[in-house]
């Protein structure tokens, strides 16, 4: 059975963490406990137990101090450090694919820190290339009752869809405060959205969203997004009451089938092209280096033994095999201890500074000095090894 991965993304205040807590509880109640990954390094506490927590790997405040960064810069840097071990995270999740049906991932509240960063792309693509992955875009329903705000959120969702190239579900959260019927109507009926714009103009006068340039722009965008809406599933949920989560899981199953039918083939093609380009770039760099040094690589590219089957033992993995059926205690419960994720690896821990960063220039100079002493094939292999590392 494939492990269905749900990555929760949304604007600050949209209710992502509360949505994660309710989804986790809902799946536990259905006797299908999920594998939980928490990727917000700046959060103090979370209302659910996480199997893998970025806070075990990177000390957010230390990153701020050591790099003189602000809050958002420290979040991005923490994600960058964590993404260097994403292959081991994937291995841990793969080990549990026979135990868990779902893997749910919580992302930072600052949406741009994850969606538009290199580490966010690495994490998303790593999961998407291994498991059927769905993006859950969480929307704050009460704040989107205005046509202008609604259109801004839909444009952001559109940009995420075409950046990640993954199936997406738009989740209108907080339906206990404001029903999402208006949003469904606006997404399926262009005339209803036009009427809402006119009503907004009448209500707010000349300052309304439906007047002047803004009204014309929103009208044009609503026509453009008509095709975009056809690629989405839309559900309304309440993280407070649990309403709508059965519909959400049904949409996840539908999007997983869509992933297997369409997205998987496209992603495999993209990944293959990237690997070929990267391989060609590395070989070209190595050839240039050998030419500059006047050496020949007799054995061609290095045939280093693959370590893909090595055990991943540096990421925390909380659950006890077969004892609690995947149920993990909450953060505030006593007796919960997670192993330090990157124990023994100073370069990727929170204690990061210039002294602990590898001095690549020094290593390169040492390699050149060795070449000057003995221009042998063995030295050439060492140079190639330095470059690949």
The CATH number of whichever domain residue 184 belongs to comes to: 3.40.50.300
pLDDT at residue number 337: 47
368-370-375-377 Cα dihedral, nearest 10 degrees: -100
Q: What percent of the chain has pLDDT over 70?
A: 73
> Average pLDDT in the 357-379 region?
55
- Residue 230 CA to residue 253 CA, distance in Å, equals 17
**Could you give the number of structural domains in the chain?**
1
Residue 47, domain member (yes or no) = yes
pLDDT at residue number 276: 87
pLDDT at residue number 384: 55
Residues 14-30 have pLDDT tens digits of: 999 999 999 999 999 99
Helix axis angle for 264-293 and 377-388, nearest 10°, is 140
Residue 179, domain member (yes or no) = yes
pLDDT at residue number 225: 81
pLDDT at residue number 264: 78
> Average pLDDT in the 330-344 region?
47
Q: In the predicted model, is pLDDT for residue 305 greater than 50?
A: no
Q: How far does Cα 110 stand from its chain's mean position?
A: 12
Residue 142, domain member (yes or no) = yes
- Residue 87 CA to residue 82 CA, distance in Å, equals 10
Looking at per-residue confidence, does 42 or 316 come out higher?
42
Looking at per-residue confidence, does 327 or 89 come out higher?
89
Residue 130, domain member (yes or no) = yes
Residue 176, domain member (yes or no) = yes
Range of the domain at 54: 4-204+217-269
> Average pLDDT in the 43-60 region?
92
> Average pLDDT in the 315-342 region?
47
Residue 341, domain member (yes or no) = no
Q: How far is CA 356 from CA 55, 206, 345, 370, in A?
A: 20, 59, 10, 24
Q: What SS3 class is residue 135?
A: strand
pTM beyond 0.75: the answer is no
Residue 312, domain member (yes or no) = no
Residue 275, domain member (yes or no) = no
Q: In the predicted model, is pLDDT for residue 100 greater than 90?
A: yes
Looking at per-residue confidence, does 201 or 247 come out higher?
247
Q: Of 108-117, 134-143, 229-238, 358-367, which range is least confident?
A: 358-367
**DSSP track, 336-374:** --PPPTTTT-TTTSS---TTTS--HHHHHHHHHHHHHH-
């Amino acid at each position: 059975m494939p492990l269905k991965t749900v990555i929760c993304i949304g604007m600050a205040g949209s209710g992502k963490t509360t949505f994660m807590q309710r989804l986790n509880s809902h799946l536990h109640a259905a006797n299908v406990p999920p594998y939980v990954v928490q990727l917000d390094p700046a959060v103090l506490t979370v209302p659910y137990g996480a199997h893998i927590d970025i806070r075990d790997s990177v000390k957010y405040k230390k990153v701020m101090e050591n790099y003189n960064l602000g809050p958002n810069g420290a979040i991005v840097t923490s994600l960058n450090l964590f993404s260097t071990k994403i292959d081991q995270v994937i291995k841990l999740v793969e080990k549990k694919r026979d135990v868990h049906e779902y893997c749910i991932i919580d992302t930072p509240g600052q949406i741009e820190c994850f969606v538009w960063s290199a580490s966010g792309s690495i994490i998303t693509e790593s999961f998407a290339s291994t498991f059927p992955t769905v993006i859950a875009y969480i929307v704050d329903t009460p704040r989107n009752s205005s046509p202008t705000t609604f259109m801004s959120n839909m444009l952001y969702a559109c940009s995420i869809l075409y950046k990640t190239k993954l199936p997406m579900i738009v989740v209108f959260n907080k339906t206990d405060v404001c029903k999402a019927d208006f949003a469904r109507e606006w997404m399926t009926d262009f005339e209803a959205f036009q009427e809402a714009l006119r009503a907004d103009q009448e209500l707010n006068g000349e300052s309304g969203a439906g007047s002047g340039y803004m009204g014309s722009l929103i009208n044009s965008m609503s026509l453009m997004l008509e095709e975009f809406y056809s690629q989405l599933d839309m559900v309304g949920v309440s993280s407070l009451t649990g309403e709508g989560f059965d519909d959400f899981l049904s949409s996840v199953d539908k999007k997983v089938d869509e992933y297997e039918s369409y997205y998987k083939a496209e992603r495999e093609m993209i990944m293959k092209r990237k690997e070929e380009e990267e391989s060609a770039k590395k070989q070209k760099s190595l050839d240039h280096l050998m030419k500059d040094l006047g050496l020949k690589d007799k054995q061609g590219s290095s045939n280093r033994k693959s370590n893909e089957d090595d055990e991943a033992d540096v990421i925390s993995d909380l659950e006890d095999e077969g004892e609690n059926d995947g149920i993990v205690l909450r953060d505030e419960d006593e007796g919960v201890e997670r192993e330090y994720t990157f124990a023994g690896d100073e370069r990727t821990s929170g204690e990061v500074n210039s002294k602990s960063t590898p001095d690549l220039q020094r290593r390169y100079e040492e390699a050149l000095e060795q070449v000057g002493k003995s221009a042998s094939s063995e030295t050439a292999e060492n140079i190639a090894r330095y470059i690949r590392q």
